[in-house]
Structure 1
């Protein structure tokens, strides 16, 4: 009933206003929304005033240098995104031309995912679809999936063992874990054994509590625990913390392929951690969006680092 009430509210508004509202909810900034839509700032401001009048709600209120959506605006976001996607697929089911298209896609991924996916994807887009822009969003696994569910994210790339029924996915590659250590902290044979692994402190990459549950589950399976000395929300500085210390970093192996191994060493974990699939996920309601289908194909066509 609640979603029906929301959809009835949306039906009372001109389609152009709905497009502007979608951009405003995404950008939360009048100027950026205007640039995204190739409209003037006064035109977007006027549209926002009209939307506020029709819906009887401020929708976006000023906070700091931007706009913050009201509860009513947040309620509208998901059905609005779904309605616009359906309209787009209805009006142009097979007319997507990458060479002339003008569109912004919102992709969610971690630092690791960005390092693996973006270089190849950006080169493809600049060559085949220069009018396609990307907005990259960094979030936890839960945040990525929530964003896809509510329409704020078009595609999410990551490790999602339990996808909601509303989402679809395609595997990109299979990945396994490796450990990064200071070369001088291991014996000459370069072997990291289990007692050493458990005795030494660890660096954990996690965002908003998402962590790396695969590693902890693998340790639990052998009735062991590790001591996490440093938790980080991003990848970039993590390898620098290993050099000259006794710390151990256990992460996805592809993230370590470009590490300078003069001082650092990449070695296998001394216990079994199951490999996992890195996938691309989207909402099933976007199945008719040919532009999104095209982008999906470009991501799947990237030549990923070998195992």
Structure 2
């Protein structure tokens, strides 16, 4: 009997559930099977692919590198099988269910309002969850299907993920109208020495994305406050004699003044990304097509 004859769709679905849950009991519960049945099918899969596929750990399983790569191919196969039973024409008006977007604080302010407006208009039965971007958990959340789309900056996204560049952005130096530096024309060295507020949404610390740029001039910033999100920084600027570097699109219509600099920080991209296994998913393709104006 060939290896292909020893495989069936049920085994592939069990493999997919183990990849998601990394626990035989949870996978069995999800599929309506016994844990023993899952273990038996896993044994057959190991024999077919000549790989252990999953290694035991205290709280469940961890996939081998071969299994992680295999999961992408199996997901594509299962999606292709599902496509045989699904309508060939995708109509967003008939779509229901839930779609989850993980977005940075900046993206929630600048990108998502117009995107959600378009999605709600064209797909009124689709429920949308927007959750905070969790850098350390992103891969696990997207691999397990708990997050469908991420909107962030390129440095936050695994290199293997497909991306769509939404637009180019740049930082500007801002302060409140009442600050002692608002009416001056400071040098870059004076800017570096001035008390500064940063937004550090992924990891609480006093290091921001502008620090490397200052270092290229032999300068180090005087960071005195670290905030968890961009949206709160303007409020802190109003009550402190300080400055901040914020993305230009995040400060429109705020009571802040931009400080002209002799040099400008490098621009950066704002991107959307998703797990490779959803490349051919019709809903995913439709959502991504609505990200650009």
CA displacement, residues 6-31 of structure 1 (integer Å, 9 cap, x when unaligned): xx99955695x899x69x95xxxx9x
Aligned pair partner of 1:135 in 129, 138, 145: 129
Q: Which residue of 2 aligns with 1:282?
A: 274
Alpha-carbon deviation of 1:80? 6.8
Query: Do structure 1's residue 50 and structure 2's residue 33 form an aligned pair?
Result: yes
Q: Which residue of 1 aligns with 2:192?
A: 198
Alpha-carbon deviation of 1:155? 1.8
Alpha-carbon deviation of 1:296? 0.1
Q: Which residue of 2 aligns with 1:92?
A: 83
Between the aligned partners of 1:100 and 1:225, the Cα distance in structure 2 is 55
Aligned pair partner of 2:61 in 51, 65, 72: 72
Q: How does 1:1-307 map to 2 (within 5 A)?
A: 12=10, 47=30, 50=33, 52-55=35-38, 70-72=59-61, 83-84=74-75, 86-92=77-83, 94-141=88-135, 143-144=137-138, 147-148=141-142, 151-161=145-155, 164-186=158-180, 189=183, 191-206=185-200, 207-208=202-203, 214-259=209-254, 261=255, 264-301=256-293
CA contact (8 A) 1:85 1:289 kept: no
Farther off after superposition, 168-177 or 205-214: 205-214
**Cα root mean square deviation, aligned:** 3.9
Alpha-carbon deviation of 1:236? 3.1
Between the aligned partners of 2:34 and 2:160, the Cα distance in structure 1 is 29
Alpha-carbon deviation of 1:116? 1.4
Secondary structure at the aligned position of 1:236 is classed as: helix
TM-score, normalization by structure 1: 0.69
Between the aligned partners of 2:195 and 2:278, the Cα distance in structure 1 is 45
Alpha-carbon deviation of 1:204? 1.6
- In structure 2, relative to structure 1, the CA distance for the partners of 1:82 and 1:252 (3 Å cut) is farther
Instruction: Report the number of matched residues.
Output: 261
Farther off after superposition, 154-163 or 240-249: 154-163
Secondary structure at the aligned position of 2:218 is classed as: coil
Secondary structure at the aligned position of 1:265 is classed as: strand
Between the aligned partners of 2:145 and 2:29, the Cα distance in structure 1 is 25
Between the aligned partners of 2:264 and 2:187, the Cα distance in structure 1 is 12
TM-score, normalization by structure 2: 0.71
CA contact (8 A) 2:198 2:244 kept: yes
- In structure 2, relative to structure 1, the CA distance for the partners of 1:187 and 1:108 (3 Å cut) is closer
- Structure 1: state its 5+ residue gaps: 1-7, 31-44, 57-68, 302-307
Between the aligned partners of 2:281 and 2:249, the Cα distance in structure 1 is 31
